[in-house]
Structure 1
Amino acid sequence: MVGSSHEAMHRIFQKDPALLTRALQQVLRIPFPEPRDFAAMNVDLTEVEPVERRVDTLLRAETDQGTFLLVVESQGKPDERKRGSWPYYLGYLREKYRCEPVLIVVTQNASTARWAAEPIHVGVPERPSMVVWPFVLGPENVPVVADETEAVRDPALAVLSAMTHGRGPKAVGILESLVAALKTLDADSAAVFVQFVDSCLTDPQARQMWRDFMTTVQYFWRHPLAEEVREQGREEGREEGREEGRAHERAEIILRNLQWRQIDVPDSVRERVLSSTDVDELGTWLDRSYRVADARELFGEGPAA
């Protein structure tokens, strides 16, 4: 599971799906057709096999050029496993729904944005069978909305700007402009946007500044919807703790199996097993722990792989 900052970076597009297509058109200069309608879809991509696969946000966009599936992934840091997951997501969705999927990665980190923008080649390097080229929204292309008039004209984009750039000297102008924009919205929408921004401000000074601003509009901060978003973030944290507990339990079982089978466990193997937080990876190692002859074979480094 993930933290609240991760959630906010993609859930803003659930709150305002049109922001996503505006970002494609205006920020990335992609000639994406104008949607007539949006619908949220089930993010669970799990098949019959007991391997859980979920995207962060999945939207269906109906346009004059056909139906598109907008797959939004919030990415905090580079993760090479995603380069295996993303082609699967797109292939699965295209086959299941018979319409074109579009992958959009959202990040607050410039180096992560550059990593995510690299094409993913599947197959023979000289002639790949598939190339996945994500669209990326990050600090290097999301506009800095520090003008009050611009923020009022497009409050959702101003929120995305604050979530992406809310650190350093830019933060003051961005957050001040956003306060003015929020006052033009209904209380329900403003309350959710307030919490999204608060979740994404990693700079302590910027976060304190934002909370100071919100003391002038306490209704937004205390609104039930804002509290609901905060509670969802707390629940995600609790679930993350449960997931870490399951991973640690599997790691301990793996090591006990090897000890019971009188197989020597080098420190490097022990550290790798105990440091893993991937429940699926640990499940594979657990299965192998019943039959390997050498502890290093847990990782596919021998005939038991």
Structure 2
Amino acid sequence: MVSPPHEAMYRIFQRDPGLFSRIPRFLGVDLPRPVGATTLPTDLGETGLVLHRVDALLRFNTAESGAYLLAVDIQDERNSERPASWAYCTAYLWKKYRLPTTLLVVCQDHATAEWAQRAVSSGPSQLPTLTLRPMVAGPHNMPVITDPDEARADLVLAGLAAVTHAAAPAVNPILKALSTALRDVPADIADPIVEFTARGLRRHPAKHFWRSLVAVDLTPAGPRLLENMREEVRAESERQCAAEDVLTVLAERGLDVSDQARDRINGCDAPHTLSRWLRRAVTAPTTEAIFDADE
């Protein structure tokens, strides 16, 4: 089942599978245009390996070269654990589906993009058994679309441009061009783009500007979509508070919390699971013990 934070990305790629064939031209890569897209589960690995997941996973079919998989991961900061996880995910997908697998990392600042696009090898330099080279979309190579006509010509790409430039000064003009372009666009087309953009901006101040644009420019759909975004923000805030409660209890008890455990707690989007971990955190002998019954 697709979790709510990732649903908009799925809907974007499902509605416009050709988006991925348009992105690589900014990366200097030529790929065949997909003619169809199928969503696949994003939790990768055996039971308990919940840290291995991506933000979206789709199977693309092409008329020229058959099928391949696209794994998409939105990375808003450098994380030393992610390259190993990316390598695991791509190898696992290759083995499970027997299809070529492509990894696209979407970044929102230059430093993270520069870090993400570095090749990483699993072995020593003399014996690089497996080398990971993800494609990276970020502010360094995604277009700055500030013309409403240009945005209207490719609404999905304009939404992605806004997300990748979320931390840049140009983000507000991009968002204004996108909201203007979305006027009078049917709701079944506009809704996924509005949601995708809102989710991509959720950790950046530009999210407030986007909400105001949605409310003003996208009437009568604006108020309804704005309320949906408010509900999502409230849910995300509650989830973050629940994760912080778990970490606070562990810290108060003097238990060591590894980076991997912290990422697992902060990345959990299931309220019932966070509540269960909080109860266990009160008596667990170690941080890892709060996960034991879930393994």
- TM class by shorter-chain length? 0.7 to 0.9
Match of 1:293 in 2: none
Match of 2:42 in 1: 43
Query: Is 1:131 the equivalent of 2:131?
Result: yes
CA contact (8 A) 1:159 1:178 kept: yes
Match of 1:58 in 2: 57
Match of 2:271 in 1: none
1:256-298 Cα shifts (integer Å, max 9, x gaps): xxxxxxxxxxxxxx6x549972458x9995569xxxxxxxxxx
Deviation at 1:192, TM superposition (A): 3.5
Q: Report the 3-state secondary structure (helix = DSSP H, G, I; strand = E; otherwise coil) of the residue aligned with 2:243.
A: helix
Separation in structure 2 between the aligned mates of residue 230 and residue 17 of structure 1, nearest angstrom: 28
Match of 1:260 in 2: none
Pick closer, same or farther for the CA change 1:209–1:47 going to 2, 3 Å: closer
Match of 2:262 in 1: 277
Match of 2:212 in 1: 211
Separation in structure 2 between the aligned mates of residue 203 and residue 222 of structure 1, nearest angstrom: 21
Separation in structure 1 between the aligned mates of residue 173 and residue 15 of structure 2, nearest angstrom: 24
Q: Report the 3-state secondary structure (helix = DSSP H, G, I; strand = E; otherwise coil) of the residue aligned with 1:124.
A: coil
1:176-255 to 2 correspondence within 5 Å? 176-183=176-183, 185-199=185-199, 200=201, 204=205, 207-208=208-209, 211-212=212-213, 214-223=215-224, 227-228=227-228, 230-250=230-250, 255=254
Query: Is 1:95 the equivalent of 2:80?
Result: no
Match of 1:32 in 2: 31
More divergent stretch after superposition (197-206 vs 131-140): 197-206
Q: Which amino acid aligns with 1:243?
A: A
1:28-62 Cα shifts (integer Å, max 9, x gaps): 131211112100111111304x2212211001001
Separation in structure 2 between the aligned mates of residue 160 and residue 229 of structure 1, nearest angstrom: 18
Deviation at 1:210, TM superposition (A): 6.0
Deviation at 1:245, TM superposition (A): 3.3
Identity over aligned residues, as a percent?
31
The TM-score normalised by the length of structure 2 is 0.75
Deviation at 1:233, TM superposition (A): 4.3
For the pair shown, the structure with the greater C-alpha radius of gyration is: 1
Q: Which amino acid aligns with 1:218?
A: T
Structure 1 residue runs without a partner (length 5+): 256-269, 289-305
More divergent stretch after superposition (63-72 vs 128-137): 63-72
CA contact (8 A) 1:10 1:74 kept: no
Pick closer, same or farther for the CA change 1:202–1:232 going to 2, 3 Å: closer
Q: Report the 3-state secondary structure (helix = DSSP H, G, I; strand = E; otherwise coil) of the residue aligned with 2:242.
A: helix
Separation in structure 2 between the aligned mates of residue 247 and residue 80 of structure 1, nearest angstrom: 20
Q: Which amino acid aligns with 2:41?
A: N
Separation in structure 2 between the aligned mates of residue 123 and residue 168 of structure 1, nearest angstrom: 36
Q: Which amino acid aligns with 2:61?
A: E
CA contact (8 A) 1:166 1:174 kept: no
Separation in structure 2 between the aligned mates of residue 189 and residue 222 of structure 1, nearest angstrom: 17
1:146-194 Cα shifts (integer Å, max 9, x gaps): 1222111111111122222256653454233213321252123323423
CA contact (8 A) 1:9 1:106 kept: no
Match of 1:119 in 2: 119
Match of 2:109 in 1: 109
Structure 2 residue runs without a partner (length 5+): 266-280, 290-295
Q: Which amino acid aligns with 1:132?
A: L
Separation in structure 1 between the aligned mates of residue 116 and residue 221 of structure 2, nearest angstrom: 35
1:128-161 Cα shifts (integer Å, max 9, x gaps): 0111101000001000111222111111111122
Separation in structure 2 between the aligned mates of residue 178 and residue 20 of structure 1, nearest angstrom: 19
Deviation at 1:208, TM superposition (A): 3.2
Match of 2:152 in 1: 152
CA contact (8 A) 2:159 2:197 kept: yes
Higher helix content, 1 or 2: 1
Q: What is the number of residues matched between the two proteins?
A: 264
Q: Report the 3-state secondary structure (helix = DSSP H, G, I; strand = E; otherwise coil) of the residue aligned with 1:218.
A: coil
Q: Which amino acid aligns with 1:31?
A: D
More divergent stretch after superposition (80-89 vs 13-22): 13-22
Q: Which amino acid aligns with 2:17?
A: P
CA contact (8 A) 2:17 2:34 kept: no
CA contact (8 A) 1:119 1:131 kept: yes
Q: Which amino acid aligns with 1:28?
A: L
